Structure 1
Amino acid sequence: MKIPPKAAAAALATGLLLTACSSSDPQTGPDGQERIQLTMSIWGSKEDAATYTERLALAQKKFPNITVKLEHTPGSGDYDQKIQTSLAGRKGPDIMQFAENVHVFSSKNQLAPLDDYLAKAKVDLSQRFGDRVSAAYQREGKTYAMPDRSGAMVLYYNKKAFDEAKLDYPDASWTWTDFRSAAQKLTVREGDKVTRYGFAAGDWWPWWLTFMKQNGGEVIDASGKPVVNSPANVEALTFYNDLVHVDKVAPSPTDYANLGKDIGPDPLFAQGRAAMQLTGFWNIGALKAVPDIQWDIAPIWQGKQRATVAFGSGLSINNNSEHKDAAFQIVDFLTSEEGQRPIVENNQDAPANLALLDSDAFMKSSDANMGAFKESTAMVYTPPIGPHWNEMQKVFTDALGPFFQNKADARTTLDRVQKELQTLLGTG
């Protein structure tokens, strides 16, 4: 039977209305809630991506109306540029993983402040993560990411080397004097050749900056002005470099080059050619593949004060997202004890959640002293990760190169850095 045009139009309109209101509508879930599609960007290995996928599956069980598509960048080399390009077009992922570069983006108003969401959800950052870890993602009184992974830098040590030298194993009570004395006693020489260094030093910023912080030094003061050439920093940098060029208990840049291709502190320690090193959680997994080395971990020593840096990342929300409320629900869940549990179960990293960090699951995830990570959270400092973090790192790298080659002293080097930072930050 032929339907009159008006009736057909009415039937079509009714059909569309029924479809829009039915539970089969792709825009609504079985409970009538709006279906929301989010995107989340991360970087890292395929194992990192697998763990995030597992965690997002748990999130969808809790929020069945929210689906999150994971966008994974292998490694981390071009991640920032990809995110910056997408955000510049006022698009980009709804949820983004960031590390110490978070305020490069927050300073451009590209990340949503989370404080109102945190207050509404009654999330206590101090209780969940601790003040020191949370502070890394805060700027000018606002929070721009929730901590997700947060393994503090700890001391890895060769137990056999300590036993041979008849030294007690290290702990958090060690001072600089204790550390230096142990490094000297742990260094083994055959004539002029060092066969085992007491310590594996290097030029990475967390190493030398930690000595500065332990000595009471700062890079930027509370008013935002550079204070890098302070006596405290000069003393700390001199102490650090003297381990290499005076005590000769740690390899110089030239020594590393002569030791072989791609040799740095991590592989040097794994090969038994360094008795101590400072590094993060990731080295636990690497050392599991080295059956011939007896090792453990401890919180690092202290100077005038305790200080260590945490290697981790937080989860931020795109300020242009159309679904900030849903994005916060996902971020809140992923940083909860339940949401971070796969991090521990897969031995991926140290979780930022304090309850999980103190759990039996984490403590028993390795034969090493995993309590060193929890103990170290009270020592964590926030590096000067402001909007100019990348440019500041370049200033330090360029200036410290000659210093670590023993071609310039600490005072001259830090005076140069001071002037360049004043120009960069407009405080000169």
Structure 2
Amino acid sequence: MVSSSPFHRVPVSRRTLLGGLLGATALTLAGCSGGDEPAAQAPAPSSTEVLGRTNLEVLAWTNGPTIDDNFKKRVAQFNTEMAGKFTAKINFLPYDQYWQKIQLQYAANKPFDIYYWDVQAYAHFKKGLVLDQQPAVDATEMVDAATYPTKLYDPWKFDGSNLYCVPENIQSMALFYNKTHFDAAGIDYPDATWTWDKVIEVAPKLTKSSGSKVTQWGLDIGDLGVWWGIQTLAWAAGTAFVDKPLEPTAFQMTDPKVIEAMTFVQDLMWDKHVAPRPEERAAVSENNGGFSSGAYSMMPGGTWNIASYTQMKDEWAMAPLPLYQGNSTAPYWLGGWVVPAKSGAISAAQAFALWSATTFQSTMAKNHDWIPLQNAARSGTDMLDGMPDGFTDAMENLPNARIGDIYTGNMQQIFNEVFGPNFDQLFNNKLTPADAAQKMQDGATKLLT
């Protein structure tokens, strides 16, 4: 989607990094082939057969100087290792232009050679525009369950059997906490045994005020303020927003357990007021505040935030998501590469994608570029060196994690037009959880394809 996340990352949110799920314009494919069509399939990589140009143009959205520079270094390394066979160059676009440009190129029947994945690309699969990558992946170690978390690929097997993108990195969620604040308050650090009730109990003890103004909040709702964050609570309670994440047939927003999860988050800000309300959060943000500034002692967030916290003045760490109703289920997101079926450089594109997912994994770990997909790279010394306390514990939850995206034709429109406005009303205490749930149920169902 995940940012999937680098660690030398600029201080941006997953909304910026992974596409503004609640803010980007819904993607349409005007001018592209209509209806669901089978995607083309390329042969497994061959040392003798080269399909298309050997000079490759890689497209990604810009994530700021550090991430963009890491991508440039990756391309330079690819060119060195593939000298005499393939060469690549990378181009960047602002996220709000990225998908529009990809759409226009598809409409003109001149797609980009290869581009970075986000959920909008599922619409391209639905139009039969992207390459079936399974034969290429099958020829690599990526199918070895002892080497890669192959079970986590399943949501990307859009036809039920085949990968239509090449995954290369992974992201999840955790509870970030300010160790300096905890030490000053004499409170033990959060760990895997912590419940959300414990968080609520401790948050007021970490909150500081000057007169009527709160100068340090014990808790911020963080990514519980995004639909996929709240859904982690629904998962822990035994339900979900949809009956299945890949081509759902029904929304379940009015499930009492979903409403209860919405109530829980709303109450953190309004009834219990242990976390700032939207206008209070906005005031913190206007003062260049947030977790990295020391304004919050605890915050649930995505692992892509790690990079932006490395320059913090205070000591900080992370723990697995707290238990909710006795359970904790983290989301995960895959990052990777899409090759159009009509790419002008199919062999070069596949080579770059597969190299990124295999050979480059150790370098990815060493650079703290993204969180590598390969098990050994993700858990090795190069990756763990410099990672915050609790990183390993959070990563251990991955086998039980659930995909943090929903894949259906109109999902981007549902995010933008249904989830976004109604969750905003919920967080601002202008809709009851039951009313917000009903509006989302009705609106999302109408758009379900």
| Shift in Å, 1:128 | 4.4
Indicate conservation of the 8 Å contact 2:227/2:423, yes or no. no
Alignment match, 1:236: 261
Which of 391, 397, 400 aligns to 1:376? It is 397
Indicate conservation of the 8 Å contact 2:320/2:390, yes or no. no
What TM-score, normalized by structure 1, do the two folds share? 0.83
Asked if residue 414 in structure 1 is aligned to residue 437 in structure 2, the reply is yes
Counterpart residue identity of residue 199, structure 1: L
Alignment match, 1:268: 290
SS at the partner of 2:322?
Answer: coil
Could you say if the C-alpha distance between residues 379 and 317 of structure 1 is closer, same or farther in structure 2, counting changes exceeding 3 Å?
same
Alignment match, 2:82: 63
Asked if residue 173 in structure 1 is aligned to residue 205 in structure 2, the reply is no
SS at the partner of 1:139?
Answer: coil
Indicate conservation of the 8 Å contact 2:167/2:357, yes or no. yes
| Shift in Å, 1:408 | 1.3
Alignment match, 1:4: none
Between 1 and 2, higher relative CO (CA 8 Å, sep ≥ 6) is seen in 2
Alignment match, 1:258: 283
> What is the 5 A alignment of 1:24-423?
36-44=54-62, 45-121=64-140, 123-124=142-143, 126-131=145-150, 133-141=152-160, 142-190=162-210, 192-202=212-222, 203-222=225-244, 224-259=249-284, 261=286, 267-291=289-313, 293-304=314-325, 305-311=327-333, 313-336=335-358, 338-382=359-403, 383-394=405-416, 395-423=418-446
Judge which range, 143-152 or 403-412, deviates more: 143-152
Could you say if the C-alpha distance between residues 218 and 366 of structure 1 is closer, same or farther in structure 2, counting changes exceeding 3 Å?
closer
| Shift in Å, 1:74 | 4.4
Indicate conservation of the 8 Å contact 1:151/1:352, yes or no. no
Indicate conservation of the 8 Å contact 2:219/2:298, yes or no. yes
Indicate conservation of the 8 Å contact 1:345/1:365, yes or no. no
**Gap regions ≥5 residues in structure 1:** 1-30
| Shift in Å, 1:300 | 1.4
SS at the partner of 2:95?
Answer: coil
Indicate conservation of the 8 Å contact 2:168/2:334, yes or no. yes
Deviations along 1:180-235, one digit per CA (max 9) or x if unpaired, are 22224323345543232121125333322322222222122145211121111101
Could you say if the C-alpha distance between residues 53 and 173 of structure 1 is closer, same or farther in structure 2, counting changes exceeding 3 Å?
same
Deviations along 1:16-39, one digit per CA (max 9) or x if unpaired, are xxxxxxxxxxxxxxx998672222
| Shift in Å, 1:61 | 4.2
RMSD of aligned residue pairs (Cα, Å): 2.6
Number of aligned residue pairs: give it: 391
Q: 1:236 and 1:193 mapped to 2: Cα distance?
A: 29
Asked if residue 425 in structure 1 is aligned to residue 445 in structure 2, the reply is no
Judge which range, 401-410 or 31-40, deviates more: 31-40
SS at the partner of 1:78?
Answer: helix
Alignment match, 2:27: none
